[in-house]
Amino acid sequence: MKRGFIITMLTVLLIAALTAVGYAYSYGIYYASYADQDTALVIMNSGGKDTYYTLKVYDAYGSLIDAVSGDLNPFESDYRVLSDIAGTTDTSWGLALLETPGILTVGVETFVDNNWVASDNVIDPIPETKEYSHYWYSLNYSNTSSQHTGIAVVNPNDSSAGATLKFYDAQGQMQYTTDVVLDPHETEYYLTSDILTVSTAMWGALDVRGTMPLIVTAEYFTGDGKLMNVDQITHTYFNEY
C-alpha cells in the first residue's frame, strides 16, 4: 500500500513538473486594434522541432480578452490578426502574450485603415527569472513641429511592476519625468505632445527604469498625426542587482 502510494505520488509530481515546463518561453508584444489601427502577428517557429503556442490577448487594463492556440512544424508560420481576437473597442490595445516551449520569432505588422505602415520583429523572450532589482530600456523620441511620439509601457508579468520614465532633450537636459505602477498585464500610454512642449530641440533619449521586465514600444507620428513607424523594445541595455 505504501509503495503504491509512493508510485502514485511520483506520477503526480512528474505530471506537475511536465505541466510546469510546458511553456518554457513567453514573448510579449504591444498591439493596438482600435479606431483605424490594427496589428497582425507572424508567429514563426525558429527551432528545428515541432512546437505549439498559446496567444493570450489582454486589454489596456490587463484583463484577458481571449486566447488562441496553434501548432507549428519546424520553420512553419502562423498569421494572427489581433482585431479578430481582441475586437476593436476603445481598450483593444496593450499586451499580446505568446507562450511556447519552442523558440519563436514574432513579426509585428501594423496597419492603418487596412494599409500596412510598419513592421518589426521580436526575438527576445521575457526573462524567465526576475533576478534583478531594476531593468533599463531606452529609445529615441521627438516632439517637434513635424514629429511626435507615442510611448506604450507594458507589464507582461503576472505581478505588478513599477516604471520611471525620463525624457531628455537634445542637450541632455531632463524635461519630464513620471512614475507609474502597472498591474499585471496592464499597459500605460504617453503621447509626447500631451506632456512636452513643442521645440526644435525637444527630441532625444527616453530612459525607462522598470522594477520588472517590461515592453516599451514607440509609435512615431508626423506632425499632423500620421503613423509612420512602430518600434518594439524588449531588450534591456542595463540590469541592476
The CATH number assigned to the domain with range 134-240 reads 2.60.290.11
> Quick check: 205 and 211 in contact, CB under 8 A?
no
Give the model's pLDDT for residue 9. 45
Residue 224 pLDDT > 60: yes
Mean pLDDT of 110-115: 97
What superfamily would CATH give domain 24-122? TM1070-like (2.60.290.11)
Residue 118 pLDDT > 60: yes
SS (H, E, C) 130-167: CCCCEEEEEEEEECCCCEEEEEEEECCCCCCEEEEEEE
170 vs 24, residue with greater confidence? 170
Query: Residue with C-alpha cell 511626435?
Result: 148
Tell me the helix, strand and coil percentages in the chain, rounded to 5: 10, 55, 35
The residue ranges of every structural domain in the chain are 24-122, 134-240
Query: Residue with C-alpha cell 508579468?
Result: 157
When pLDDT is cut at 50, 70 and 90, the band that residue 47 belongs to is confident
d(CA 175, CA 142): 12
pLDDT in tens, 65-85: 999 999 999 999 999 999 999
47 vs 209, residue with greater confidence? 209
Give the model's pLDDT for residue 102. 96
d(CA 50, CA 151): 36
Give the model's pLDDT for residue 12. 40
pLDDT in tens, 54-67: 999 999 999 999 99
Q: How many residues belong to the chain? A: 241
What is the amino acid identity at position 146? Answer: S
When pLDDT is cut at 50, 70 and 90, the band that residue 22 belongs to is low
Antiparallel, parallel or unpaired: β 93-100 and 161-168: unpaired
> Quick check: 147 and 203 in contact, CB under 8 A?
yes
Mean pLDDT of 129-155: 95
Residue 17 pLDDT > 50: no
Residue 18 pLDDT > 80: no
Mean pLDDT of 12-34: 69
Which alpha helices (DSSP H) does the chain contain, by range?
Answer: 2-20, 82-86, 192-195
